Structure formats: structure tokens, C-alpha cells
Amino acid sequence: MLGIEKTSQNKEFEMAFKNVSFSWPEKREYVIKNCSFSINKEGLWMIVGKNGSGKSTLLKLINGILNPTNGVINNSANVGMVFQNPDHQILMPNCRSELLLNINQKLNRNEITHKIKIALNKVGLTGFDKRPIHTLSGGQKQRLTIACCLISEKNFLLMDEPTALLDSYSQLKVLELIKDLTRNKKNPFTALWITHRLEELIYADAVAEMSNGNLSDWQKPLNFQYK
Ligand SMILES: Nc1ncnc2c1ncn2[C@@H]1O[C@H](COP(=O)(O)OP(=O)(O)OP(=O)(O)O)[C@@H](O)[C@H]1O
Ligand SMILES: [Mg+2]
């Protein structure tokens, strides 16, 4: 077991699967099979696994898009989602309007402008508020989706192969951004990151493998062995 486990006294949130199974409607086979695991501390948690092993399905169960067929999911985190392709989640024509979609509308105009500035600064997009989305690179779009999660005060990001479409420079920028966010002790932040890029695992605080609908124990990246 890992040092990343926390005691109940200083727990910030609970995200736990207890004997969770899931099958798609009209399919007899379970995609997730009697799966139990927990994440109870800030940090960068990574999951690897073969195509079709159930990784994306697991994220959809965590964020409530899907309900388990059997078992229980306890989740008290404020969950946000970052997809592989940012074009699948960005809706508005420029950075400011995209961030506005995600902000608490009860704030006044000055507060909103201030929060937008801070969110863009945090993801390395300082001064991008008026930039049309179509002028952003893939990596910049991905960082904008992260800014949207930050401005809506998510503290737990589900990231489904967020660097798969990025070149190695943008891959590193996104990875380092998330690593910095998950290291910030003042604002505890957790990311659950799915990847096929094994070179990313070294950034993780904990790594697990999805295999046949089941998640392995969390391991330190240096001890992790892909089956
Ligand atoms: N909407 C759906 N309806 C029916 N079956 C689905 C649906 N989405 C996924 N599946 C099936 O569920 C299984 C697990 O898929 P999932 O997308 O979770 O795998 P994955 O580990 O994320 O794979 P990849 O690495 O290719 O992204 C696969 O057999 C897939 O065909
Ligand atoms: Mg997937």
C-alpha cells in the first residue's frame, strides 16, 4: 500500500468504489467487474490499461454519467472532466465566453473579470481572454478546458487521455500544469489521469492498471509493472 493513503481525521473528500459492477444495456458481460478502490488524497493518480479494458467507463461512473449495475460509489468531490479532444467540450467562440459559461453567475462584473484573469494566469494563458477559440493550438485549448474546471471550483479532475492528441511540447506543458496544481498545498487538488503514454507515469503519485474491468492496487510509479 502507498504513503498516499490518508487517515479519516484529515480526509478532504471521499471517492470510493465498493464492489462496483457495470454492464451496458442489453449486454450480458460486465465491463466493470466487482471493482473496489478509493482515492482520498490530493495528487496525480494515473490509470493505464489496454483498449476496451473499461477506463473511460470507470470515469463515467465516477462523474455520474453512468450508474453502477451493482455496488456503491461514494463521491464527495467536486468533479470536472477533461476529454482527449478539447473540441468535444469547448462550446463558445472565445476564451472569456467559454470561462463565463463555467463561472458562478452571482458574482459582479469586476469579480468575474478578476476570476477570469486568475484562471487564465494559472494555466499559462495570460491575456488570452479575447482570443477566438479557433486561433488556439490543441495544447492551449486543453489548458483552457482546465481553466474552466478551475473557475468552477472543481477539486477533482477526471482526465481521459488529455495528451493523446498533443505534440510532445504541449503534452509536457499540460502534464506539468496538472502536476503543479496537484502539488499546491493551499488548494488541495486531485487529478485522475488516464494514459497510454507510459513515459507520463513518472509524474504520478500513484499508478494503477485497469484490466478486465478491475483496477489493481495503487502503486508508486517506480514500482509499477505493466502486465
Ligand atoms: N456507449 C456504449 N455502448 C455499449 N458499449 C460500450 C459503450 N461505450 C463503451 N462500450 C464498451 O465498453 C467496453 C469498455 O470501453 P471503454 O471505452 O471504457 O474502454 P477504454 O479502456 O477506455 O478503452 P480505450 O483505451 O480504447 O479508450 C468496450 O468493450 C466498449 O466497446
Ligand atoms: Mg477510453
Tell me: the pLDDT tens digits for 149-205?
A: 999 999 999 999 999 999 999 999 999 999 999 999 888 999 999 999 999 999 999
Q: Does 35 reside within a domain?
A: yes
The pTM of this model reads: 0.92
Residue 159 CA, ligand 2 centroid: distance in Å: 10
Q: Does 130 reside within a domain?
A: no
Residue nearest to atom 31 of ligand 1 (CA): 52
Ligand positioned closest to the Cα atom of 210? 1
Q: Does 220 reside within a domain?
A: yes
Q: Which of 27, 46, 55, 69 to mutate to test the pocket of ligand 1 (most atoms within 8 A of CB)?
A: 55
Helix orientation angle between 109-122 and 138-151, rounded to the nearest 10 degrees: 130
Q: Does 83 reside within a domain?
A: no
- Which atom of ligand 1 approaches the CA of 53 most closely? 21
Q: Does 181 reside within a domain?
A: no
Q: Does 148 reside within a domain?
A: no
Residues in contact with 162: Cβ distance below 8 Å, sequence separation at least 6, in sequence order: 82, 83, 84, 142, 174, 193
What residues are neighbours of ligand 2 (ion), with CB under 5 Å?
A: 55-56
For CA atoms 158, 44, 128, 105, the dihedral sign is positive
Q: Does 212 reside within a domain?
A: yes
Q: Which of 196, 217, 214, 215 is nearest to 206 (CA)?
A: 217
Domain hosting residue 202, numbered range = 1-78+198-227
Where residue 225 sits, what CATH number does that domain have? Answer: 3.40.50.300
Residue 55 CA, ligand 2 centroid: distance in Å: 5
What is the reported pLDDT for 11?
Answer: 58
Q: Report how many domains make up the chain.
A: 1
Q: Does 71 reside within a domain?
A: yes
